[in-house]
Structure 1
Amino acid sequence: MHYAKPYRAIDQQIGLIESRGMTVPDWDKAAEYLRRIGYYRLSAYWHPFRKRLTDAGGKHTIIDDFKPDADFKSVVDLYAFDKGLRLILLDGLERIEISLRTEVALAIGKHDPFGHRRPDLLDGRFVRPERPRQICHADWLESLDQKAVRSKEEFAVHFRTKYPDSQMPIWIAVELLDFGPLSMLLEGMKFKDQEGICSSYKIPRPHLLTTWIRSLAGVRNVCAHHARLWNKPLTNQPSLARSGELPDLDHLRTSPGSNGRLYAAACIVRYMLREISPRSKWHERLAAHMSTFPARPVISLEAAGFSDGWSSLSLWSGNT
């Protein structure tokens, strides 16, 4: 289809959403938010307020008109809440990312300072992908080398200047890796090396670790791009521990599809931070922020997997 929607000035944007049933009591404030945040970005937050029609066959269709009592302030409040939520998640994810860089560097570096470049020290499925579009070691390494050449970080410039004929050892190279490429390297490591990292976080098996980190990488990507987070389905769903394997996470198994919602990712962050930063108050800050959710008849925390009483569960109580 050819995109044919016309350009609309700010006052026309407000008129449009009013014509669709949203209450905009203060045009000046609405204009300020639309100019500062943008119509398209805010539209992600008024999506739950749009009407849904159901045909005779049970098929649902979201239309442009809004449900009764939809108001612009609720949309802005939800946007502000989500912004704060992203910042809290980013703080926890940063701690995990930095810790994981160190764990990966230690696990690979003990074999060879340049072990990340050696196919014989990595899992065969990473070296020779089984699926046509699966990331492979050669592509991953090419991307890393491009970053090493182009990076303007002080440590990278210093290394290129002092060692112009050398590649970076793993303990320096990991500092160039964002969460996504780092998760790919983790998945591409030998099983025994993954097991060693699991033990640092008290995670019983590598499959849990790799799917957890892949999922968290997706959450970080959403946060880094300032996109809607609070009720967005997880792109990469983390695997759930077996019943009794990690008792504090057993409650995730009681709700079908719970590993596809943000709450599951928050649980993983909390679980890993207990080992990484045992004195951290991250869980308390998250609970305090979630209590400020701008609840309305059409939106709730349950859409993101946060059920009633979640913060009183054993995972979230205390610092242990």
Structure 2
Amino acid sequence: MANKPSYIVEEQIALLKQRGMLFQDETQAANLLKNISYYRLKGYWWDMQEDIVLHTFKPRTYFEDIIDRYNFDRHLRLILFDAIERIEVALRTKLIYHLSIAYGGLWYLDASLFENRTITFNNTTTSIYESTINELQKEFSRSQEIFIKDQRSRYPNQDSDAWKILEIASMGTLSKLYKNLKHQLPQKAIIAKEMGLNLATELSSWLEAITYVRNIIAHHSRLWSRSMVKTPIERINNPVGLWFNNRLLPVQTKKPFLIISCMVYLCNHISPNHHIKSKILELFKSNPSIPIYKLGFVNNWHDEPLWAATQK
């Protein structure tokens, strides 16, 4: 299949107009398209097409409305990154503290603390534990943090204590380390309880989904109207904090709503004075024309205990 032709900005605007898109200010639109690519914006107007084969737009589809969606999504991602930072730092801290106190600073190198699970990729079977430790050591080797460079310089070819090496571990690596800890280890349950959940399996599920969203946000990708590849457990065992009274609809679990709700729940326990939820609600309030149902915020979601306006 041949590649499609390339268009200069003026031709991009002409094509959109030909397909029925309206513009309030073409000069401003041209400036925006020089800094936000046509293809990047496409994800925000996809559902506004009347014919997805001909790519014609529904009546009264304005370019400026697309930009409003884009900016809304960008602001939402910034709020969520704040939540993710709190969760990631808390997870890192609890892993370091509880496991180091119980098993020493090099606990992460003790394979007996981890499940002996394997994965097969390209016909090659690999231990999940070994794969995770290899990735952790790669992160350590390429880190330019001063304290890591000092560690490599002062103690060459020596393993670093967990409180150093895990400080530069990605959330994905931290999530895998936690998930792969043996279930009978009391520290695994302690960490889950300190983060507001009664089961380690629940926390593992949530961390995987949040890591997935973190990677989307870190690459400045679109969260808007996106279907989640990773979905967290919805029904949690005897929640210790505000959660949902009713079962969620499939669209609420498929879209970002459930993962965002998990973030708010966790922040309620690890960072009680946070303003994540209030910032999200304020963003919704200041953008009344944005169809937040595209994110899964449907079915009287605001009446659920977790999202009740009088709560954080």
Measure, in 2, the Cα distance between the counterparts of 1:15 and 1:133: 53
Q: Is the 8 A contact 2:243 2:304 kept in 1?
A: no
Mapped contact 1:81–1:292 kept (Cα < 8 A): no
The partner residue of 1:137 within 129, 145, 167 is 129
Q: Which residue of 2 aligns with 1:58?
A: none
Cα RMSD, aligned residues only: 2.2
Choose which of 156, 164, 169 in structure 1 pairs with 2:156: 164
3-state DSSP class of the match of 1:37? coil
Residue of structure 1 equivalent to 2:190: 196
Query: Structure 1 pair 242/97, CA: closer, same or farther in 2 (3 Å)?
Result: closer
> What are the Cα deviations for residues 16-46 of structure 1, in whole angstroms up to 9, with x where unaligned?
1111110123211110010011111111111
Instruction: Give the aligned residue type for 1:8.
Output: Y
Identify which of 110, 113, 121 aligns with 1:121: 113
C-alpha deviation, 1:182, in angstroms? 1.4
Listed one character per residue, the Cα deviations across residues 288-318 of structure 1 (whole Å, up to 9, x for unaligned) are: 012233526xxx2112111265344321344
Shift of 1:169: 1.4
Does residue 211 of structure 2 align to residue 221 of structure 1? Answer: no
- Deviation at residue 265 of structure 1 after TM alignment: 1.2
- Partner Cα distance (2:237, 2:169) in 1: 34
2:175 aligned residue = 183
1:148-201: per-residue Cα shift (whole Å, max 9, x none)?
A: 111111121111122113111112111121121211111111213321111101
- Distance between the aligned counterparts of 1:163 and 1:276, measured in 2? 34
The one-letter code sitting in structure 1 at the alignment partner of 2:40 is: R
Give aligned pairs, total.
Answer: 306
2:82 paired with 1:88: no
Counterpart among 267, 273, 276 of residue 273 in structure 1: 267
Note the C-alpha offset of 1:135: 6.9
The residue aligned with 2:10 is 11
What amino acid is aligned across from residue 262 of structure 1 in structure 2?
Answer: P
Instruction: Show CA shifts across 1:90-109 (max 9, x none).
Output: 00110000000011112322
Return the letter of the residue paired with 1:197. Answer: I
Match of 1:288 in 2: 282
User: Any conservation in 2 of the 1:278–1:319 contact (CA below 8 Å)?
Assistant: no
Instruction: Tell me which amino acid in the other structure corresponds to 1:285.
Output: K
Q: Supply the distance in 2 between the matched residues of 1:62 and 1:88 (Cα, whole angstroms).
A: 35
Alpha carbons 2:265, 2:306 under 8 Å: kept: yes
Deviation of 1:129 after TM superposition, in Å, equals 3.8
Does the CA-based 8 Å contact 2:87-2:267 persist in structure 1? yes
TM-aligned CA distance change 1:247 to 1:90, over 3 Å: closer
- Could you tell me how far apart the structure 2 residues matched to 1:134 and 1:295 are? 49
- Amino acid of the residue matched to residue 50 of structure 1? Q
SS of the residue corresponding to residue 51 of structure 1 reads strand
Amino acid at match of 1:179: M
Counterpart for residue 306 of structure 1:
297
Distance 2:157 2:82 in 1: 37
SS in 2 for 1:250: coil
1:134–1:205 CA distance, 2 compared to 1 (3 A): farther
Corresponding residue of 1:208? 202
CA contact (8 A) 2:209 2:231 kept: yes
Do the aligned partners of residues 176 and 135 (structure 1) sit closer, same or farther apart at CA in structure 2, a change above 3 Å counting? Answer: farther
Of 146-155 and 27-36, more deviation after overlay is shown by: 146-155
Return the letter of the residue paired with 1:46. W
The gaps in structure 2 that reach 5 residues or longer are none
- Match in the other structure for 2:36: 37
Structure 2 CA distance for aligned equivalents of residues 65 and 37 of structure 1: 21
Aligned residue identity for 1:218: Y
Instruction: Give the letter aligned to residue 32 of structure 1.
Output: N
8 Å contact 2:41–2:70 — kept in the other structure?
yes
CA distance in 1, matches of 2:5, 2:58: 25
Q: Secondary structure at the match of 1:36?
A: coil
Q: Percent identity?
A: 27
SS at match of 2:97: helix
SS in 1 for 2:55: strand
Distance 1:290 1:209, change over 3 A: same
Instruction: State whether structure 2 residue 96 is matched by structure 1 residue 98.
Output: no
Specify the code of the residue in structure 1 equivalent to 2:218: A
> Against the structure 1 CA distance between its residues 315 and 171, is the aligned structure 2 distance closer, same or farther, given a 3 Å change threshold?
same
State the Cα distance separating 1:272 from its structure 2 match.
0.7
Aligned partner of 1:262 in structure 2 is 256
Provide closer, same or farther for how the CA distance between residues 311 and 196 of structure 1 changes in structure 2, counting only shifts above 3 A: same
Match of 1:73 among 64, 71, 75: 64
Q: How far apart are the structure 1 equivalents of 2:226 and 2:159?
A: 40
Relative to structure 2, which stretch is displaced further, 135-144 or 37-46? 135-144
